Amino acid sequence: MILAGGIGGGVASEAMAQGVWTILKHEGRDYLTLREIGAFYRLGTLERSLNQFSLRLGAASLRGHADSQEFYISRLKFILSYPIREIAGELCMSRMDLVKLVEPVLRPGRIPSAGRVDTVILDAGHGGSDSGAVGRLGAEKEFTLDVAFRARTELLKAGFQVFLTRSRDEFVPLEERSRFANRFEGGNALFISIHFNSSGWGTGVETFTLAPQGVPSMMSDGPMVSDLVRCPGNARDAENMALATATHASVVLRAKLPDRGIKRARFFVIRETVLPSVLLEGGFISNPEEIRRIASGEYRQQLAGGILEAVQNYRRAVSSRSG
């Protein structure tokens, strides 16, 4: 994954401030050409075939389609905040997506506020009277707690401090989960919330990180006035995206389920937590094929191993100070 290293020189936001980018306006937003983005990150020449495009340098690549929010960095799927657009004959990406998504993924070592990680807060979704999704082989609250226990064991063996927002079948309000995690602010800690999906025959793994200020949540019906409010977690936008990338890459590889992408939302626990935070959806309890896997200890151990690998890769990436 590109996350483990870095590409290019200089910081994209600084370069834009210095006026070295061609900024194009579309629907009231700033856009930058993919051609200039490729040159900046030294990814070579933009290749285009009809609506498809790619920028490549060895194993590293950016690719997608015009008028689509689906975007790939190497083989990992991201959902952009805004579609790629053709403006004045140029394929362009929104400035928001460049700064808040591409930059921290390609160059996590340039995130100035990222510290060395030694503590992980694991949040097992639901609990007690809140069962979450319920399938024929068990309830979400049981599976999330088991993954949290397994991940704690792996992280402890690797030398991390680990704390759980719940350690038994009890209901813990969302505000208490965030309040607990925020006690570790400034302590080089990460927050990972563990969940499973439920929606008919839906399939695959997806990872959510906090939507930047001004960007609609991908879990809402459209723009809302509340999108303009800065949330506590927005102070960690760059770290959130780097952590989401590390988490999603590790879990998709181990789970061997369809990649539903890295998405943006304003779920309470990632919105109100001031640590670098993600919410992982590890498969669909409602899918008869996936529930059989989720109900197996082997699969839940794979998720736990993915969480350990994600934390290690994130720590290595933000400590690289390269690019």
Strands (E), the chain: 23-26, 29-33, 47-49, 52-57, 60-65, 70-73, 76-79, 85-87, 90-94, 119-124, 134-135, 138-139, 161-164, 189-197, 205-210, 259-265, 277-284
What is the tens place of the pLDDT at every residue in 36-86?
A: 999 999 998 999 998 899 999 888 899 999 999 999 999 999 999 999 999
Query: Does residue 257 carry a pLDDT above 50?
Result: yes
The Cβ-side half-sphere exposure at 216, using a 13 Å CA radius, reads 10
State the chain's mean pLDDT as an integer. Answer: 92
The reported pLDDT for the residue numbered 14 is: 56
Which amino acid makes up residue 225? V
Could you give phi then psi for residue 256, rounded to 5 degrees? 55, 40
Residue with tokens 């510290």: 115
The reported pLDDT for the residue numbered 6 is: 37
Least confident of 3-7, 50-54, 100-104, 125-129: 3-7
Query: Does residue 252 carry a pLDDT above 60?
Result: yes
Domains of the chain: 2-106 (3.30.457.10), 119-318 (3.40.630.40)
The reported pLDDT for the residue numbered 13 is: 55
The reported pLDDT for the residue numbered 16 is: 54
DSSP summary character for residue 87:
E
Q: By the 8 A CB rule, do 177 and 269 touch?
A: yes
Each as own residue / partner, the long-range contacts of residues 289-294 (CB below 8 Å, 24 or more positions apart, any chain) are 289/203, 290/203, 290/257, 291/135, 291/136, 291/137, 291/138, 292/137, 293/257, 294/135, 294/137, 294/138, 294/143, 294/196
Say if residue 273 is exposed, middle or buried (CB neighbours under 10 Å; 0-12, 13-18, 19+). Answer: buried
Q: Tokens for 309?
A: 């690998």
Chain CA centroid to CA 171, Å? 26
pLDDT band at 321 (very low <50, low <70, confident <90, very high): low
Q: What's the mean pLDDT in 257-281?
A: 97
DSSP summary character for residue 127:
B
Query: Does residue 284 carry a pLDDT above 90?
Result: yes
Instruction: Give Cα separations from 212 to 215, 225, 256, 286, 305 (angstroms).
Output: 6, 14, 29, 30, 29
Query: Does residue 131 carry a pLDDT above 60?
Result: yes
The reported pLDDT for the residue numbered 15 is: 54
Cα R_g (the chain), whole angstroms: 19
Query: Does residue 177 carry a pLDDT above 70?
Result: yes
Chain CA centroid to CA 91, Å? 25
What is the tens place of the pLDDT at every residue in 194-245?
A: 999 999 889 999 999 999 999 999 988 777 888 899 999 999 999 999 999 9
Residues of the chain with pLDDT > 90, as a percent, come to 85
Residues of the chain with pLDDT > 70, as a percent, come to 93
The reported pLDDT for the residue numbered 55 is: 95
The reported pLDDT for the residue numbered 38 is: 94
Q: What's the mean pLDDT in 272-296?
A: 97
Q: By the 8 A CB rule, do 144 and 126 touch?
A: yes
